[in-house]
Amino acid sequence: MGAPSSSTKAFKQGFLRSFLLSLRSCRNGAMGLQERKRAVRSSADIAMATTRGSGAMWPQALLAAASSSSSLPWPRRLPAAATVKTTTRRKNMARRRCLQRRTTTSSGEIARRLVRKRTKVLRGMVPGGELLDGASLLREAMDYVVHLRAQVAVLRRVSNAMQHRPSSHHMTGPFHSPRFLMSVPCMQIAKHNHVIHFDLYHHDSCSGCCTTSTVENRDDRKGSSLGWKPRIERWQQSEPPRSVCRMAKKILYCSEA
C-alpha cells in the first residue's frame, strides 16, 4: 500500500504519545477488567481524534461520542442532541443523491437503492457521517480509514512490545521491548526542549514482531544520545534498579541514528 507518508508517521508518533499518556489512568489496579478494557479503547479513540485535530470532521464527532459515554459500542454515534442541523432535510436528500447519480446501469433503480442503503451504512461507520453529503462522506471515510490503519499499527506495536517485556530481574536477549519502553522517557525529555521523535519505522530487526524504536534528537542527527544522559544520571542518583541503568546504557550505545 505504498510507503507511509510523513504525515502518517507524525500522526503515529502523536497518537502513541497521547495514547501512552492516557493509559496512565488505566494502570490503576482498582479497575475491573471490563472497565479497563473500555478505558483503553476510549483512550485509543481519544488519542486518535485529538492527534488528528481539525483537519477533518470525524475527530470532533468521535470525541463527542467518547466523552458522552465511554461505554458505547461501535459504531460510535453522535448523541441526537448534539447533532447540528445545518441544512434542511431537502438539501440533505439532494446531496445524498449525488452518489446515486453515479449509477447509470439499466437496472438503475435497484442499484440506486443499493447505493442509498450502503451509503447509509457507511454513514454509521464514520463518526459524524450522518451530517455529510456524498462527496464529503467519501473524503471523510478515506481520511478515517488512513488514520484507523495507523491506529491499528501503533496499537499492535505497543501490545507486541509489552508482550515481549522482560520479567522481573531477568532480561531477555534482544532489547526490543526495553528499547521501546525506554523510548517513553523521551516524553519527559521533551520538557528540556529537545525535539524527540519516536522512530517507529526504524528497522524491525526482530522477525517483524517487535517494536524497535530509537530516539533521535533532532538537534543532532548523528544519533547522539546526549539527551538521555541527564535523565539517566538523575535516575542513578535516586537509585533505580540496576537493571534499568544497564538497559539504558545498552540502548544508548546500541541505537543508531
Partner 1 sequence: VKTMSGRRSRGSVSEEEINELISRLQTLLPTARRRGSSSASTTKMLKETCSYIKSLHREVDDLSDRLSDLMSTMDNNSPAAEIIRSLLR
Positions in 189-228 near partner 1 (CB under 8 A): none
The torsion region of residue 215 among left (phi > 0), alpha (psi -120 to 50) and beta comes to beta
How far apart are alpha carbons 221 and 231 in whole angstroms? 19
Q: Which of 10, 93, 148, 195 contacts partner 1 by CB under 8 A?
A: 148
Cβ-based nearer residue to partner 1, 174 or 185: 185
Residue 30 CA, chain-centre distance (Å), reads 26
Q: Which of 14, 59, 128, 178 contacts partner 1 by CB under 8 A?
A: 178
Do 99 and 119 touch, CB atoms closer than 8 A? yes
- How buried is 36 (Cβ within 10 angstroms: 0-12 exposed, 13-18 middle, 19+ buried)? middle
Cβ-based nearer residue to partner 1, 120 or 222: 120
| Nearest distance from C-beta of residue 108 to partner 1, angstroms | 12
Q: Which of 39, 62, 64, 210 contacts partner 1 by CB under 8 A?
A: 39
Side-chain-side CA neighbours of residue 117 (13 Å): 6
Q: Which of residues 49-88 bind partner 1 (CB under 8 A)?
A: 74-75
Give which of 205, 193, 188 is closest to 255, Cα–Cα.
205
| Nearest distance from C-beta of residue 168 to partner 1, angstroms | 4
3-state DSSP call for residue 217?
strand
Do 2 and 140 touch, CB atoms closer than 8 A? no
Cβ-based nearer residue to partner 1, 64 or 144: 144
Q: Which of residues 82-141 bind partner 1 (CB under 8 A)?
A: 91, 94-95, 98-103, 111, 114-115, 118-119, 121-122, 125-126, 133-135, 138-139, 141
Cβ-based nearer residue to partner 1, 27 or 222: 27
How many residues form the binding site for partner 1 (CB under 8 A)? 76
How far apart are alpha carbons 15 and 30 in whole angstroms? 26
Cβ-based nearer residue to partner 1, 26 or 221: 26
Cβ-based nearer residue to partner 1, 151 or 212: 151
Give which of 2, 10, 17, 4 is closest to 185, Cα–Cα.
17
Q: Is 229 in the site for partner 1 (CB under 8 A)?
A: no
| Nearest distance from C-beta of residue 222 to partner 1, angstroms | 25
Binding segment (CB under 8 A) for partner 1, from list 60-68, 153-161, 197-205, 216-224: 153-161
Q: Which of residues 16-35 bind partner 1 (CB under 8 A)?
A: 20-21, 23-24, 26-27, 29, 33
| Nearest distance from C-beta of residue 83 to partner 1, angstroms | 20
How far apart are alpha carbons 47 and 229 in whole angstroms? 29
Q: Which of 145, 195, 209, 226 contacts partner 1 by CB under 8 A?
A: 145
Residues, the chain: 257
Within 10 angstroms of residue 140's Cβ, the number of other Cβ atoms is 22
